[in-house]
Amino acid sequence: MRSKISRMERQEQILLSLERFNFLTRSHIQRLHRLGGDRNAQKVLRQMEAYLHSFREGYDTVYYLNKSGREMIGAKKQVKRTLQTTHNLMRVDFFFHMGCPPHWFNERKVEIGGKVCVIPDALFFKDKQYNFLEVDNRQTMAENKAKVHKYRKMFESGVFQNDKNFGYFPTLHIVTVNKSRMKRFREICDGLPFQVYLIDEIK
């Protein structure tokens, strides 16, 4: 009886993680829920097939909630496989790279004085400070430059530094796909508190 309850609890926790992150690879789920080796992880996820959609991505399998999975945990948001899927997975890779911060919010509106300042790909709290994350997968560099310009305007205005809830400008973390883009980001972010990462080096 206890084993059945534990299995149900574990399945529900996995479903809740998929609601939180939209998409997770088998490896992500394996690490997040401590499922042990590949064989056990595959067994656990096979037992959950009724609640999940899945597809192959490279050498791994990606999972997301189907209708039954959403109903099981009361999730309202329907997720579909799109060009943004890789973007989501890169964000999760960075989440693990940062040590799985407990205070992690995907696409959370950041407001100062009741006004929305920015909606980063993720806002997270680590080392006693908030941080911004932007994931660069398919965007043009013109789009990226415009986005960084918004952060620069906020930095130069002092809106975060002068706010009692912050008192500093959060570090901007950027995950990108190749060294050429990494170099460009370093150039356009010069003067800001920032860090740039290659996805292949943090996975």
Paired sense of beta strands 129-135 and 171-176, if any: parallel
Residue 178, both tokens:
């190749």
Residues 149 and 61 in one domain: no
Residues 136 and 174 in one domain: yes
- Spacing of C-alpha 122 from chain mean position: 6
- Give the number of domains in the chain: 2
If asked whether residues 109 and 190 sit together in one domain, one would say yes
Q: Is residue 61 part of a domain?
A: yes
Considering the chain, what is the average pLDDT of its residues? 94
- Give the whole-angstrom CA distance, residue 69 versus residue 51: 4
Structure tokens given for 91 = 């964000």
Residue 1 has pLDDT above 60, yes or no: no
Report residue 114 CA to chain centroid gap. 25
Burial class from Cβ neighbours inside 10 Å (0-12, 13-18, 19+) for residue 66 reads middle
What would the two tokens of residue 97 be? 């790279």
The verdict on 71 and 101 lying in the same domain is no
Give the domain CATH number at 106. 3.30.70
**Which residue's structure tokens are 């901007």?**
172
**192 belongs to a structural domain:** yes
Query: What residues does 175 pair with on adjacent strands?
Result: 135, 197
pLDDT reading at 79 higher than 80: yes
pTM of the full structure: 0.92
109 and 197 housed in the same domain: yes
**Tokens 């059945």, residue located:** 4
Could you tell me the residue range of the domain that residue 149 belongs to?
A: 97-202
pLDDT for residue 178: 97
Do 123 and 67 share a domain, yes or no?
no
Domain final residue, candidates 78, 111, 142: 78
Cβ atoms 38, 61 nearer than 8 A: no
pLDDT at res. 203: 86
52-57/60-65 β-pairing: antiparallel
DSSP code per residue over 86-146: HHHHHHHHHHHHTT--SSEEET--EEETTEEEE--SEEEEETTEEEEEEE-SS--HHHHHH
pLDDT per position as a tens digit, 134-189: 999 989 999 999 999 999 999 999 999 999 989 999 999 999 999 999 999 999 99
Helix and strand numbers (H, E) in the chain are 8, 10
Q: How far apart are CA 26 and CA 179, in angstroms?
A: 28
| pLDDT for the residue 116 | 77
For 89-139, how does the pLDDT look when each residue is reduced to its tens digit (9 = 90+)?
999 999 999 999 999 999 999 988 778 789 999 999 999 999 999 999 989
Q: If you ran DSSP here, which 8-state letter would residue 84 be given?
A: T
* pLDDT given for residue 138 in this prediction: 84
Alpha carbon 39 to its chain centroid, in Å, reads 26
Q: For residues 184-203, give the mean pLDDT.
A: 97
Can you give the pLDDT at residue 115? 80
